[in-house]
Amino acid sequence: MSANSSAPDDEPVIKVRGLVNRFGDYTVHDDLDLDVRRGEVLGVVGGSGTGKSVLLRAIVGLRRPQAGTIELLGHDMVNLSEAERATLNQEIGLLFQDGALFSSLTVRQNVMAPIKEHLDVPQSLAREVAAMKISLAGLPDDAGDKYPAELSGGMRKRAALARALALDPQVLFLDEPTAGLDPVGAERFDELIVSLRESLGLTVFMVTHDLDSLYHDCDRVAVLAEKRVIAIGSIDEVRRSDHPWIEEYFGGPRGRAALASQTGAPASRRA
């Protein structure tokens, strides 16, 4: 269980029922169900090929599933109209694994892009909002004038996060947010996510393989295996499962190190 002080309520902002995702003859998800509660940080884990990112993309409407229903903030994502999509895009923030920043734009211009696309505001106000989001993401003032290639990996992640927060979303989707970061950078990013959830009241859907992030950030964890969600609950609840993948994931050396780091035992983060 995350150490965050603000508890999520039981109202689901994401409802997935009977989801089926296929690529040709290969079925990734079959009759998958999932609820995400308002105000929680949900970590989504699973082995390679279980479709963690595919699930994220289906929920936000970037992929149309073969069957099932997806409801996000009251919107039917499978049958969303263009007008509804334009409105919904202002309520969700996306941070993909590689950041997906526009390389030809500065950080400030990247953050301003969704503001200019969705809001009819003066250029001066867009710049002011972008500066605030850049600061909120933990970047120094001069970062706004830099291009993505001039930033470290951790700074690019923060720049992408600033862009994801540009329109004050209700729900933030993170795809492997600490992947590629050094241990210090990953820990700082974890702290930032918790801080933002607390200050902005975000609901966070986080695909991750990072056990330290799960222990530090998440209220609940959903485990994908066998084409569905096989377990969901607090880490302590999920760890008690006798499913072989869960036992190996949480009971292996990295899992034991992550648990030790949360309980104060002498173990290194991201061992």
Residue ranges covered by each domain of the chain: 22-91+170-261, 104-168
- Percent above pLDDT 70 for the chain: 93
Q: Is the pLDDT of residue 233 over 90?
A: yes
Which pLDDT score, from 0 to 100, does residue 257 have? Answer: 76
Q: What is the pTM of this model?
A: 0.89
Which pLDDT score, from 0 to 100, does residue 5 have? Answer: 45
- Percent above pLDDT 90 for the chain: 76
Look at 32-41, 223-232, 251-260 and tell me which has the smallest mean pLDDT: 251-260
Query: What residue spans of the chain are helical by DSSP H?
Result: 52-59, 82-88, 107-118, 123-136, 153-164, 183-200, 211-217, 235-239, 244-251, 253-263
Write the CATH number of the domain with boundaries 22-91+170-261. Answer: 3.40.50.300
Mean pLDDT throughout 49-65? 95
